[in-house]
Structure 1
């Protein structure tokens, strides 16, 4: 887990492994396909079928996005015929590229996935991966509805069951392998909940929790600690500030808890938020002068539109207009 707290940010803050949606952080190295025993190497002349070259290599394209300096987080695994074998790493690969949603057109993201897979695993595995992508996008769309997220501790078990049914309905036999890590984490969450809700003494609960944590694979243990820290990040940062901590102290906490790259992203996000707040405050001062001027309402609106167009990008203008509507009652 080296990155993708990201799309905290972006990744955000990572799409989503674990019940509460923390995304995995990519591991180092642009993944090369791995074949199972008995598989025929990609460079075997009898199985060579190179894909047409793209006008722009995948790495060069990624270097012009928010994923610059990162790497594809897993390898593709194939059988001896070059057919894709689905596992949890396959999902990590899809999430990695899909984190560019909103930054690149969907079709360009699809072409990046195809090109990367063909370069690293050949056309058959690439075709399999694109077919899986279509199903995965359907799953993400269904899951984004919010119908499968637990709204309270009481309905966690029922929601997990519904999520499992959704996955099996869309992915069939691939569901177990595709969501293996998340299923293990969900099971851990249920066991943890059962311990905390039991009538054991506090000492017994503490011992049971220690045993449960010790049973977690290291990767999931790190994921849980990061998710817990992420859910309480705002309170922790506020506590650091109230005790006299500086921005350097906050960065040191991020670095220790989430790793170097995630700490840098959190720092960048904080700077972006500060810059945005300053830009909006500067705009608001000019806006208020326009509104206070003795101009007809139509002229005021025209000047406000011009001011927004001058100071903000098109997508930002919609956000500014929405903030203005929220502030209207306080200005009246």
Structure 2
């Protein structure tokens, strides 16, 4: 079983990077997995509409029994003797229950499972199973505890079954993309098989909670690839098609993130085009203000000024550095003297943080010059 089963379509995202930068960058806007110190307390939702209530889960539940399954009697809370990769970390995820102590399935429950499963390789599967079951039962009352353990059983079976699908379609995609394009028919077949597998292992509400957001991003990525591979569309038509797809998505956080990313992509593209044409600072500010608002435009303008200031000092540094190295080469002074003077020059022109950037920035400038030539 793989250490990371977060997305059955990671091959799609990986190949999409090659085809379109915009598809790859959306990874940065996927919902973050905020860590929860679940060894101290677990979150519950206070929602009047659903009847969920906030319950103090700070202490292990008195009604939580210890099962003998998978020899989990070696753990009291599941957090004893954590493997090295998990030591010093907060337990990620959540266990949500309603006012009747029924489990409310969320994506956070899947994150909780994956947190412990990430140690597979350091610990055997049976040990991880015992750890997760003990953790659930020591922090969750019944019947929610047993419900969560049942879903964990289903999740383990699902991960084992999906490995074959990923291997099968991963090999097919590698063969298809040797021509430089993604076979969307193969992607569609894979999605169908995965959907069928999920239905075999999970209830509908669990599928939605565990995989709904992930599927939204996968569908978006696939559609972006489809648009980029359509040679009959011009660049402007492709951009319009991307915007149209986002506008037709349901109003949720995924749509908001993708719309924000689309604005960012356009912002980067238009900034590069305007700078290449010698746009003024005012022109850049006005363009950015229309796309991302006045506060963000002002911050970007400040970044431009800081970058320009750094460039000026860097160019000054390079000129003086080369002069000192040339003098050393002519034996007017020793190499040691030259390096001492260069170090003094760096301290005069740059702060501690900027000095750490110098070598990388110099390499970047050399690469830009090489590309220009």
TM-score (norm 2): 0.48
- Superposition deviation, residue 72 in structure 1: 2.4
Matched with 2:88 is: 69
Quote the offset at 1:70 in angstroms. Answer: 2.1
Q: Please, what is the CA RMSD of the aligned residues?
A: 3.8
Q: Secondary structure at the match of 2:5?
A: coil
Contact 2:75 2:134 in 1 (8 A): no
Q: CA deviation at 1:80?
A: 2.5
Closer, same or farther in 2 for the Cα pair 1:81/1:68, shift >3 Å?
Answer: same
Taking structure 1 as reference, are residues 221 and 19 closer, same or farther at Cα in structure 2, changes over 3 Å only?
farther
Alignment correspondent of 2:108: 89
Q: Determine the structure 1 residue equivalent to 2:325.
A: none
Q: CA deviation at 1:112?
A: 1.7
**CA shift for structure 1 position 140:** 0.9
Match of 1:178 among 210, 221, 224: 210
- Counterparts of 1:98-117 in structure 2, within 5 Å, are 98-117=117-136
Change (3 A) 1:77 1:43: closer
Farther off after superposition, 50-59 or 110-119? 50-59
Question: How far apart, CA to CA, are the structure 2 residues paired with 1:123 and 1:193?
Answer: 46
Q: C-alpha separation between the residues in 2 aligned to 1:102 and 1:29?
A: 24
2:44 counterpart residue number: 34
Is contact 2:75–2:131 with CA below 8 Å preserved after alignment?
Answer: no
Answer with 1 or 2: which has the greater Rg.
2
- Contact 1:73-1:92 within 8 A present in 2 as well: yes
Contact kept? 1:117, 1:125, Cα under 8 Å: no
Structure 1 contact 42–48 (Cα < 8 Å) conserved: no
Task: Sort the Cα spacing of 1:87 and 1:220 in 2 relative to 1 into closer, same or farther, 3 A.
Answer: farther
1:19 aligned onto 2:9: yes
Residue aligning to 1:49: 63
Is the CA contact 1:213–1:221 (under 8 Å) kept in the aligned structure 2?
yes
Residue by residue over 1:176-211, the C-alpha shift from the partner in whole angstroms, topping out at 9 and shown as x without a partner, is 222112211121122212212332102221343466
Change (3 A) 1:98 1:50: same
After superposition, the C-alpha distances for 1:240-292 in whole angstroms (9 at most, x for unaligned) are xxxxxxxx87xx99xxxxxxxxxxxxxxxxxxxxxxxxxxxxxxxxxxxxxxx
For residue 187 of structure 2, what is the aligned residue in structure 1? Answer: 156
Give the superposition deviation at 1:217. Answer: 4.5
Q: 2:228 aligned with 1:196, yes or no?
A: yes
Alignment gaps of 5+ in structure 1: 1-10, 224-247, 254-332
Instruction: Select 1:140's aligned residue among 159, 164, 178.
Output: 159
Contact 2:65 2:137 in 1 (8 A): yes
Aligned residues: 214
Report what 1:324 is aligned to: none
Structure 1 residue matching 2:35: 3-state secondary structure: coil
Find the partner of 1:168 among 190, 196, 199.
199
Provide the C-alpha distance between the structure 1 equivalents of 2:134 and 2:158, rounded to a whole number of angstroms: 23
In the superposition, the TM-score normalised over structure 1's length comes to: 0.53
- For residue 10 of structure 2, give the secondary structure of its aligned residue in structure 1: coil
